[in-house]
């Protein structure tokens, strides 16, 4: 972030988490998980149910209570599970002891993203999100710094018009570089399809078990065996019980009954993300939007209400540009009995018709999911070729085996008959290779 954040090296930072809701009780479970993901130790909790206060987000009395809790717990920072405006941030900070940071939900998420970013694309997307978050706040932050006589408040420095120009220029540069990366990735996707692979993307909320499921589906054939063929593919996918373990994309090969597919695990969704933040990761989401099939992974051990909310958010995001069929996967079934699973299937049938129930950790239901993936992928084209026997015929037959599913192969005195099914692009290439064969001179 362009604002100054404490480093995560050394001991955990001590944080008080707080949340305001319009009605009901504030749930702090997710914000605590987010805080833990970057080594915050949650030492205090506070919620309030009321309408938003323009000056403080909470009521002023509740902010006084928050300040007392900070002193009592010796906290280093306050993490607010709301989207704070710059003046609200400043006003809350003014009630707290000096040097106690105020961090809102999106600042925390961007901090997590920044730590998880490993590839150039991920780092650019994080920086773009940070800049888009910072731009509308730049002038307000600087104005607050002057008013409080604390130059550099929240890390921005004194205001001058060049700050906004620099941010906008950098946003433009990042978008151009991401567009270039996206173009190269699209070229790679097309080459994979031309090689006979179907593209399957795993989507869903962070911590739903996507990475563990990827490992199960791809366990029988590792990408490393074809490193020369697909040098951009990763051979591992982390499966830690941690939010945002997967920020970029991880792709591995998997062998189904008749097909080979490329499985891509993508960044996990998280609730209440603003549109600008989702847009910042559009390049990564292209792996989902341009897939042949999407596996929408849901944590089935969560309450129905949470599952429904997450399914709605996922569908809203996916349906913006995705045209591929979606198969919902109820994961973590090992934590439930059969009756509970049946009740959740019935309650969520409108959002998740005919879901596949699995336990990625235990491997239960994975074979059924493989069959479902093969059934849902676009139909392959059937072809039957009569190939003249030449010096190059066997290499063509081998190529067809590598790129499609051979159903019949028979040999005559001067020809080979191959019946197979494959993607239409592969069938076209096979026909062209067959046409190029020249019979051996007698």
274 burial (CB, 10 Å; 0-12 / 13-18 / 19+) is middle
Binding-site residues for GTP, please? 204-211, 265-268, 331-334, 359-361
CB 343 within 8 A of CB 313: no
Backbone torsions φ then ψ of 247, nearest 5 degrees: -105, -45
Q: What are the helix and strand counts (H, E) for the chain?
A: 15, 13
CA distances (Å), 83 to each of 69, 247, 273, 283, 408, in order?
21, 22, 10, 25, 62
Which residues sit in the known binding site for Mg(2+)?
Answer: 211, 246
Residues 198 and 227 sit within 8 Å (Cβ to Cβ): no
* Phi-psi map region of 365: left, alpha, beta (phi>0 left; psi -120 to 50 alpha): left
Using the CB atoms, write b or e for 378-415: b if 16+ within 10 Å: eebeebebebeebeebeebbeebeebbbeeeeeeeeee
Q: Indicate the SS3 state at residue 84.
A: coil
> ∠ CA(241), CA(242), CA(246), 5° rounding?
110
Binding positions: 204-211, 246, 265-268, 331-334, 359-361
Query: Would you list the DSSP string of 150-179?
Result: -TTGGG--S--HHHHHHHHHHHHHHHHHHH
CA distances for 255 relative to 220, 259, 329, angstroms: 7, 6, 19
- What CA–CA distance (Å, rounded) separates 247 from 352? 25
């Amino acid at each position: 972030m362009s604002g100054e954040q404490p480093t995560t090296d050394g001991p955990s930072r001590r944080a008080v988490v707080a949340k305001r809701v319009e009605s009901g009780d504030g749930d702090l479970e997710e914000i605590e998980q987010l805080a833990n993901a970057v080594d915050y130790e949650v030492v205090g909790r506070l919620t309030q149910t009321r309408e938003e206060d323009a000056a403080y987000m909470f009521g002023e009395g509740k902010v006084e209570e928050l300040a007392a809790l900070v002193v009592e717990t010796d906290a280093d920072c306050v993490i607010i599970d709301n989207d704070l405006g710059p003046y609200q941030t400043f006003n809350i900070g003014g009630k707290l002891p000096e040097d106690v940071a105020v961090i809102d939900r999106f600042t925390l998420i961007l901090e997590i993203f920044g730590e998880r970013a490993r590839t150039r694309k991920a780092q650019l997307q994080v920086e773009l999100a940070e800049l888009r978050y910072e731009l509308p706040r730049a002038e307000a932050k600087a104005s607050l710094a002057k008013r409080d006589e604390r130059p550099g408040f929240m890390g921005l420095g004194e205001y001058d018009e060049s700050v906004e120009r620099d941010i906008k220029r950098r946003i433009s540069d990042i978008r151009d570089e991401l567009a270039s990366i996206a173009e190269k990735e699209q070229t790679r996707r097309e080459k994979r399809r031309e090689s006979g692979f179907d593209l399957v993307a795993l989507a869903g909320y962070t911590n739903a078990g996507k990475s563990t499921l990827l490992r199960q589906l791809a366990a029988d054939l590792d990408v490393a065996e074809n490193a020369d063929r697909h040098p951009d593919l990763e051979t591992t996918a982390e499966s830690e019980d941690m939010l945002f373990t997967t920020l970029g994309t991880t792709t591995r090969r998997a062998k189904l009954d008749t097909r080979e597919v490329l499985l891509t695990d993508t960044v996990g969704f998280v609730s209440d993300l603003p549109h600008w933040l989702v847009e910042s990761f559009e390049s990564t989401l292209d792996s989902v939007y341009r897939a042949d099939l999407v596996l929408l992974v849901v944590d089935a051990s969560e309450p129905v209400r949470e599952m429904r909310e997450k399914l709605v958010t996922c569908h809203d995001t996916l349906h913006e540009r995705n045209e591929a069929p979606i198969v919902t996967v109820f994961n973590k079934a090992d934590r439930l009995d059969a009756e509970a699973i049946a009740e959740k299937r019935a309650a969520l049938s409108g959002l998740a018709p005919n879901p596949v129930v699995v336990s990625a950790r235990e491997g239960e239901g994975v074979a059924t999911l493989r069959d479902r993936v093969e059934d849902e992928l676009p139909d392959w084209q059937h072809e039957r070729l009569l190939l003249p026997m030449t010096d190059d015929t066997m290499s063509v037959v081998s190529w067809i085996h590598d790129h499609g599913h051979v159903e019949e192969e028979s040999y005559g005195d001067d020809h080979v008959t191959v019946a197979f099914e494959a993607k239409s692009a592969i069938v076209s290439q096979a026909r062209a290779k067959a046409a190029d064969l020249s019979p051996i001179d007698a």
